[in-house]
Amino acid sequence: MKNFAYSRADSVAGAVGLLSQQANSKYLGGGTNLVDLMRENIEQPDVLIDVTRLSSGKIISGLTDGGLSIGAAVRNSAVANHALVRERYPLLSQAILFGASGQIRNMATTGGNLMQRTRCYYFYDEASRCNKRTPGAGCDAIGGFNRIHAILGASESCIATHPSDMCVALAALDATVQVQGNSGLRSIPMNDFHRLPGDTPQIETDLKPDELITAIYLPPLAFARNSRYRKVRDRASYAFALVSVAAALETEGGTIKNVRLALGGVAHKPWRAYTAEKAMAGAKATAETFHRAAGEELADARGRGHNDFKIELAKRTIVSVFSELAEAGGMR
């Protein structure tokens, strides 16, 4: 690993100032992804600014509107086990618990989870071509081993997926990401935070270079109490998703009143399934409806060979999760 200078920020403004003053600097959270990428020479910062000790980032607060604010430095395990998260947003708790291992969840921060990078093998392998590492170089995943790669929203530049479980739940919950930079504060809707690859796959988020994530805001969503996260993977535990489903459902007299759906492991960003939600709204809560909605959502999906199976797997997982939620009804 190339050496670097380390500094510890004592305020958000201080962190933004430090980053802006020093070229090739990066914010450091739990380090569970960044340290690994630095060891592989994929990331080579000259300066790391530790933002894990900012007291403002360590708080989870229930808001009067029934929503929740989660500080960016709160560890993943603390979010998953917070009483209000478990009660109001069980799918978020589940999504986090399905990710990584107990040790990593104790280290990883909320902000860092959003900023983690793809686990595409070709991105990690310096001997391969990768448009994320070297824009314009080409993509060896296309035509290569692409079992874990994207089936939705990919481009001829990049077919990598976003690896987070937590972010899939946040996408379903319509979370917003609070950020602060030199030009002040702003809120970015979760579903605009990560980008599709297009021809600039090296640009992964909507963040400006100096901006620091300070908190995640979860709006109130009463029917999220009937929600679920299902992750399909190659091992029973401690593996990234082939396909994952974050879903919430409210029914009334057998009819779908409210629905949320987001998919993981299928695209360059957490994939909010607006098409399927629209197809389900107002329809009967039956397997037939779920199947039709899943089919519409995946209509434009494209496999690249090894990952063709993901298209059918995504559909079946959607149908299975909604069938369970329908049985649980509006109550859990």
Residues binding other proteins (CB under 8 A): 1-6, 28, 31-32, 35-36, 38-39, 48, 50, 52, 77, 80-81, 86-87, 90, 93-94, 97-98, 100-104, 106-107, 225, 231, 236-238, 332
DSSP string for residues in 197-257:
-TT-TT--BS--TT-EEEEEEE---GGGGSEEEEEE-SSSSS---SEEEEEEEEEETTEEE
Query: Which of 6, 274 has the CB closer to other proteins?
Result: 6
Q: Which residue, chain included where needed, has tokens 């709160």?
A: 74
Query: Which of 20, 103 has the CB closer to other proteins?
Result: 103
User: How does strand 5-8 pair with strand 47-50?
Assistant: parallel
Query: Which of 188, 248 has the CB closer to other proteins?
Result: 248
* Strands annotated E in 59-211: 60-62, 68-71, 176-181, 184-189
Give me the least distance between CB of 19 and other proteins, in Å please: 16
How many residues are present in the chain?
A: 332
- 306 within 8 A of 146, measured Cβ to Cβ: yes
DSSP lists the bridge partners of residue 186 as 179
Query: Which of 102, 184 has the CB closer to other proteins?
Result: 102
Give me the least distance between CB of 81 and other proteins, in Å please: 5
* Separation between Cα atoms, residue 120 and residue 159, nearest integer Å: 9
* Separation between Cα atoms, residue 172 and residue 160, nearest integer Å: 21
Give me the least distance between CB of 59 and other proteins, in Å please: 18
* Separation between Cα atoms, residue 48 and residue 34, nearest integer Å: 10
Q: Within 10 A of 24 (CB to CB), how many other CB atoms are there?
A: 9
Give me the least distance between CB of 182 and other proteins, in Å please: 25
Give me the least distance between CB of 106 and other proteins, in Å please: 5
Query: Which of 3, 64 has the CB closer to other proteins?
Result: 3
Query: Which of 197, 264 has the CB closer to other proteins?
Result: 264
Give me the least distance between CB of 6 and other proteins, in Å please: 4
